[in-house]
Structure formats: structure tokens, C-alpha cells
Amino acid sequence: MKKDAGKIALVTGANRGIGFEIARQIAQSGAHVLLSGRSFEHANIAAQTLCDQKLIATPIQLDVTDPESVSHAADWIASTFGRLDILVNNAAIRIEDYGIAPSGQPMWKWRETFETNLFGVVEVTQALLSLIRNSKAGRIVNVSSLLGSVGTHSDRSSYAYSDMFKSLPAYSASKCGVNSWTAHLAYELRDTPIKVNAVHPGYTKTDMNDGLGDLEIPEGARTSVQMALLGSNGPSGSYVHLDRIIPW
């Protein structure tokens, strides 16, 4: 393991789905990807898949809802590399059932959703921010969703304005929180080389979406990878899908 093996990137929730593909595409750029998952065994299998493709990947156990796990991961990255160039906050859950009215979703699903989708993003970022500051040009990518856009939810012509997607109030609100966190952190870091952006992957065919969607997983990973590899002239504090700005 070399400390100078190009950029060091951490992708949370990377053992499958969009997270794994984000890790793969970032690794293809020459970065050393730290591929994290709640299960080290699953992360290790995914990382080995990338290594078999001649990419540089290391598994790391990281449960974004467990402060001890977050702290341990941050300490390991600090002692091993001394910096972090790219953080992709991808880990998320969708546990609400389709077809239930917004007021009918139980509170435990709200709390569990926010623990992973919002509080986990904030805690991981706070734990790693000093290492990102050690990068020459740190990049923080928060994987949001079109369902985090209040403007889109209010647009009667949008697919979000439907019984199906209005049955995910906790998921949608958690992603609204991610967007707000993105704007606040980008402001804090406005006079640094660090860029912070939120992305909408697109409606992608993943397990989270029960296999439904318009995009295949490689396409769904593209926006996150673009923001992770953003040049010095790129935006910060934006909410995007590919080259399109998403309304807050």
C-alpha cells in the first residue's frame, strides 16, 4: 500500500449498486479508492473485484450510523495516508413502503432514515474534514436525489408529483437535509480549495428502487464521479445532475 498512489478517495456504501460503480469509475481515473461498507466481508469482496480489474482499492469497514466505526475509520485513514482527497457520501437507505400516504409512514422509519441519510453524512464529513483539508484540492460529493428537491416535488409535471413518490416523505426530507448541509458546508469552505456539491444520480435501476428506473448503474454513477474529479474551475455549493442544475 503506497501513501503516494495518486488521489485517495473514500466512497461510503460502496460494496454494491451505485456506490460500487462510483468507486470503480473513480479508481479508473488512477485514484486509490477506499471502498467502505457496514460489513467488512462484503466490502472486501467488492474491493477484490476492483483489484482483479487492475485497479487500486482497499476495503474498509464503516457504518455511518455508528460513531465508533466512523472514528475508527478516520483514525485508520489518518495513520495510513495522512489525507483524504475525495469523499463521496453515498450510503443511504429507503425503507418506506410505496403506496402509503405521507402521514401514514411510522416515526421509526423517519428516525432510521435520517440516521443514515443525513446524520451519517454529517458525522462522516465532520470526522474526515481535517484530512480533506490536508488535500491540495479536496472534493466532497453528497449523493442526494431529485426527491430532495422541494421545487420538483411541487411541480405537477414531475414524476415526483405522484402517489408513488409522495409515499417516501422521510427519504425525501432526509435528502432535503443533505442539500442544506451541502450549501452550509460549501459556504464554510468557500475560501479554500475544497469543493462541496450535491448530486442527483438520476432514476437508476438499483435494489433501492426495486430494480425500477430509467438509467443503468454506470450512467447513474456518472454525476458523482464528475463532481469527485472536478477541476479547480468547477462549482461548489451546487445541486446537479450531469450538466443540469437541479432546483432546490
The DSSP output letter for 116 is: I
Q: Which position among 98, 159, 161, 171 bears the catalytic label?
A: 171
- pLDDT at position 14 is 97
Question: From CA 37, how far away is CA 19, in angstroms rounded?
Answer: 10
Tens of pLDDT along 141-183?
999 999 999 999 999 999 899 999 999 999 999 999 999 999 9
Alpha helical stretches, state H, the chain: 17-28, 40-52, 67-80, 107-114, 120-133, 150-153, 163-166, 169-188, 217-228
- pLDDT at position 206 is 77
- pLDDT at position 4 is 40
Give yes or no for a contact between 15 and 43, defined as CB atoms under 8 angstroms apart.
yes
- pTM (2 d.p.): 0.95
Sheet holding 32-37, edge to edge: 57-61, 32-37, 8-11, 86-89, 139-143, 195-199, 239-241, 244-245
Domain boundaries, given as residue ranges, for the chain: 8-245
- pLDDT at position 78 is 98
Question: Which of 101, 85, 113, 235 lies closest to 172, judged by CA?
Answer: 113
- pLDDT at position 94 is 95
Break the chain down into helix, strand, coil percent, rounded to 5.
Answer: 45, 15, 40
In the residue annotation, 187 being an active-site residue is answered as no
Question: From CA 180, how far away is CA 169, in angstroms rounded?
Answer: 16
Question: From CA 94, how far away is CA 161, in angstroms rounded?
Answer: 18
Residues in the chain predicted with pLDDT less than 50, given as ranges, are: 1-4
- pLDDT at position 5 is 53
- pLDDT at position 30 is 97
Core vs surface per residue 18-45: b (16+ CB within 10 A) or e: bbbbbbbbbbeeebbbbbbbbeeebbbe
8-245, superfamily in CATH?
A: NAD(P)-binding Rossmann-like Domain (3.40.50.720)
